[in-house]
């Protein structure tokens, strides 16, 4: 019996993964990944690297992508909450340039699978957040690209909170727009 529920999003290649939580007065147990369950749901990928980051409220990371070695990512939050976003960069896709976002929290235990060919980013909504993700390819230095987090053509509807100052890396502040990057 599968321990996960997989829901397709309106953008092909993006999936919401909801594991079954077994809880009682002692706490809970959850299987966060099971190869057989993923295959049964039609997700047949191999993960080669696990990453974890911690960020504080207002940190916005992204929108990052890999140029020659695209990675699929299974992302989740183990502490706090984030608004997680993927942007379709697959030129032959009917949703090219479209985005999808979901709130991931330690409480809802939802995971988000982002197939290769997407830009990815997130905004931390809680005081701090610990973010974990599995990747289908190794990190290749020098292969990362980035899009403007506030590109008007992509128009991500970030849940910006009044009074919270965004914290964005210098690298991400210099990302180009979608049109500049992909030369329409």
pLDDT of residue 184: 55
Q: Which fold has domain 4-182?
A: Jelly Rolls (2.60.120)
pLDDT of residue 183: 72
Candidate list 96, 133, 139, 140, residue with the active-site label: 133
Radius of gyration of the chain (CA): 16
**CA separation for the pair 3, 178 (Å, rounded):** 38
Q: Are 52 and 75 in contact (CB under 8 A)?
A: no
The model carries a pTM of 0.94
pLDDT of residue 182: 87
- pLDDT digit string (tens) for the chain, length 184 residues: 678 999 999 999 999 999 999 999 999 999 999 999 999 989 999 999 999 999 999 999 999 999 999 999 999 999 999 999 999 999 999 999 999 999 999 999 999 999 999 999 999 999 999 999 999 999 998 999 999 999 999 999 999 999 999 999 999 999 999 999 987 5
CA-based nearest residue to 5, from 22, 18, 15:
18
Candidate list 33, 64, 65, 120, residue with the active-site label: 64
Q: CA separation (Å) from 96 to 24, 93, 168, 172?
A: 44, 5, 25, 21
- Is 120 one of the annotated active-site residues of the chain? no
- CB within 8 Å of 132: residues ≥ 6 apart: 50, 51, 52, 75, 76, 77, 78
Q: CA separation (Å) from 114 to 117, 123, 128, 163, 173?
A: 8, 16, 23, 31, 23
pLDDT of residue 1: 62
- Is 140 one of the annotated active-site residues of the chain? no
């Amino acid at each position: 019996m599968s321990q996960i529920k997989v829901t397709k999003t309106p953008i092909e290649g993006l999936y919401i993964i909801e594991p079954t939580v077994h809880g009682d007065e002692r706490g809970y147990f959850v299987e966060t990944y099971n190869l057989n369950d993923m295959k049964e749901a039609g997700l047949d990928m191999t993960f080669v690297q696990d990453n974890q980051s911690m960020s504080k409220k207002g940190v916005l990371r992204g929108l990052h992508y890999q140029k020659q070695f695209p990675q699929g990512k299974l992302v989740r939050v183990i502490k706090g909450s984030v608004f997680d976003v993927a942007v379709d960069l697959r030129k032959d896709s009917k949703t090219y340039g479209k985005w999808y976002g979901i709130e991931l929290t330690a409480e809802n235990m939802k995971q988000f699978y982002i197939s290769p060919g997407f830009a990815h980013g997130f905004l931390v909504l809680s005081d701090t957040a610990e973010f974990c993700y599995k990747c289908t390819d190794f990190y290749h230095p020098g292969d990362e690209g980035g899009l403007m987090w506030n590109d008007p053509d992509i128009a991500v509807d970030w849940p910006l909170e009044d009074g919270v100052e965004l914290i964005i890396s210098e690298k991400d502040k210099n990302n180009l727009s979608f049109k500049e990057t992909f030369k329409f």
